[in-house]
Amino acid sequence: MNAMTDNEPAFQLSPDVQAICETARRIVRDELLPLEPQYLASDKHAYGIKETVNLKAVFGKEVVDRLTKISKDTGHWGLMVHEEYGGAGLSMLAQCAILEEFNYTPVPFPFASVPNILYACKGDQVDRYLRPVMEGDKTTSFAQTEPNAGSDPGGMMQTRAVRDGNEWVINGTKMWISMAAESDIIMVQAVTDPDKRQRGGITMFLVDRNNPGVSIDTKGIPTWLGPKPSQYIVNFNDCRVPEDAVLGEVGSGFSLGQKWLTIHDRLLRGPYALGKMQRALDMSVEWSKQRVTFGKPISTRQAIQWKLADIYIDIEALRALTYTIAARADAGEDVRTEAALVKLVSTEWGARCLDHAIQIHGAMGEALELPLTLFYRYLRHAQIGGGTSEIQRMLIARKLLAD
């Protein structure tokens, strides 16, 4: 590790970050867990939807306003925002530790959810796109995947953008785009140089969802992830955008997309899974002590004890891995391959742990009044979304063989 000696710990949470985590833990227990029964019973929430959108869909204005006020009063709202824009500018390690706490429950907590690539905004883009997202007034979606370009977007992407005077004209179809219908801004990748493609021929555009050239089937694509679809097909039909709709530089869109995927869809899968796994373990330990069969609590059964131990082992191993890779990212290392590793094991180990927890709970584990099956669906889906487990293994093997 570049910035660490062999004798230094791989990561260390500062007292300030530990205090923030403790505050987050209290918020989850005091504010979010009491709302969980209503949230789980609702048919209005959807997988992958931004925190404030899901809150407004399920709860009334009073609940949303109270949680938003708590977020801002405790400083959590801007924890993930860069310092130059008034945020806390926390390290990736700190962000992972805090997000783990909030992923203990499916009930979302509102904060400024800013895609890392949106900091590439410049000039008027800052006020039109970046600041409204930081303030919670606008939300984003990321449009890379296409019907025939999922695992190989660079080589197979068909969506094109052609310059026409001082405008760009975008044509093509994107599929499996989370939150497209609910977002205000679609971050769209399009081929601008077919010869270069991912090596300087793909550009990222910021497109307003209400652009007349954008059409979305608002029914969405029904999946097993929840009662309300959250993934959509997005069509761009002679969609005209101005020159200043380009995010970053012309031709840099693929690298921007990889930057987004590395952090948001891979490294941050670690805390996303850890919170759910820890909740599953806590629930399973409590249940095993109170559930009696054949005259004894099931916690006395070796079969149950080994499942609990396996969940605990996965949690400790994943936490150590995630925090170490986050610390390496903070040290300036290129962690693309390591983020793929985090994504791979967090989703596979996470689904395995939830499977154990459901089995420990027996029939009750299938009850929708508990979060276990919802957590399982989320983690099982994550073995596909954002790059399949097979793709993550290819990325890891590519580095091993190159080295």
Rounded to an integer, the average pLDDT of 26-49 is 93
- Domains plus CATH for the chain? 15-113 (1.10.540.10), 140-251 (2.40.110.10), 268-402 (1.20.140.10)
Residue bearing tokens 């300030």: 16
The pair of three-digit structure tokens given for residue 157, joined into one six-digit string: 């992407």
The pair of three-digit structure tokens given for residue 395, joined into one six-digit string: 């990325």
Distance from C-alpha of 134 to C-alpha of 153, rounded to nearest angstrom: 29
Rounded to an integer, the average pLDDT of 393-397 is 96
Distance from C-alpha of 403 to C-alpha of 401, rounded to nearest angstrom: 5
Strands (DSSP E) found in 282-360: 292-293, 296-297
Distance from the first to the final alpha carbon of the chain:
16
User: Quick one: pLDDT band at residue 229, thresholds 50, 70, 90?
Assistant: confident
Distance from C-alpha of 386 to C-alpha of 344, rounded to nearest angstrom: 10
Asked if 216 and 234 count as a contact pair (C-beta separation under 8 A), the reply is yes
pLDDT in tens, 284-336: 999 999 999 999 999 999 999 999 999 999 999 999 999 999 999 999 999 99
Angular region, 382: left φ>0, alpha ψ -120 to 50, beta rest? alpha
Residue 397 clears pLDDT 60, i.e. is over it? yes
Per DSSP, the residues of 155-178 read: HH---EEEEETTEEEEEEEEEEEE
Long-range contacts formed by 285-291: CB under 8 A, 24+ apart: 287/360, 287/361, 287/364, 288/360, 291/362
User: What is the structure's pLDDT at 4?
Assistant: 39
User: What is the structure's pLDDT at 5?
Assistant: 40
Residue 190 clears pLDDT 90, i.e. is over it? yes
Residue 10 clears pLDDT 80, i.e. is over it? no
Asked if 36 and 83 count as a contact pair (C-beta separation under 8 A), the reply is no
Hey, is 282 helix, strand or coil? helix
What global pTM score does this model have? 0.93
Distance from C-alpha of 275 to C-alpha of 284, rounded to nearest angstrom: 14
